[in-house]
Amino acid sequence: MPGGDTERPMRADARRNYERIVATAKELFAEQGADVPLDDIAKRAGVGAGTLYRHFPTREKLIETVYRNEIEELADRAAALNAELPPWEALEAWLNEQVRWVVERHKLATILKESIDSGSETFHYCQTRLREATGMLVGSAQEAGLVRADISGVDVLRLGHGAGMAVRNCSPDEGKLVLSVILDGLRA
């Protein structure tokens, strides 16, 4: 969400409009791609075009916001799992959630990533955020002596992404087997 030290907080109605626009954009990007007309997003969100453009002066800003929100939710889930579960169970749950996220949101993530410059601040932020979230889980499991010392959070992030891509068209049992093999390979 917009923010920062120099910006005023949004009024409640403006915040609701902002959130509706982002949620609607996410839906329409997944359905129709990143080139969906912005006026269609505004219409489905129930706001005027002026409201959409006030919050998102360019298509790129809207795409970046949707992508950033997706990554924030995923990274926040890692922190919640780390706080709620013992280290190994948290890592296992995270890997399961990451794989499910890749499977369920592959199309949307691909559309959004193709629309964001890989050298952009948003891309760098999202990459860093996911690496830190996964590194936290791996570090906790390593401190508990449960994960190999030569494994990094980036390794687990890549394994989770690869597993998600590999099991997109598999049965749930085949997907579980892939994750089981990965988890066995991580054990100390």
Tell me which DSSP letter residue 8 carries: P
Report H helices in the chain: 12-32, 38-45, 49-55, 59-84, 87-115, 121-143, 153-166, 172-186
Supply the pTM of this predicted model. Answer: 0.80
Structure confidence at residue 4 (pLDDT):
44
User: Is 147 strand, coil or helix?
Assistant: strand
- Model pLDDT for residues 88-102, shown as the tens digit of each residue: 999 999 999 999 888
The residue count for the chain: 188
Higher-scoring residue by pLDDT: 117, 80: 80
As given in the structure block, the two tokens for residue 63 are 């795409």
% of the chain beyond a pLDDT of 70 = 96
Q: Max CA-CA distance within the chain?
A: 56
Q: Go through the domains of the chain in sequence order and give each one's CATH number.
A: 12-57 (1.10.10.60), 63-186 (1.10.357.10)
Structure confidence at residue 6 (pLDDT):
52
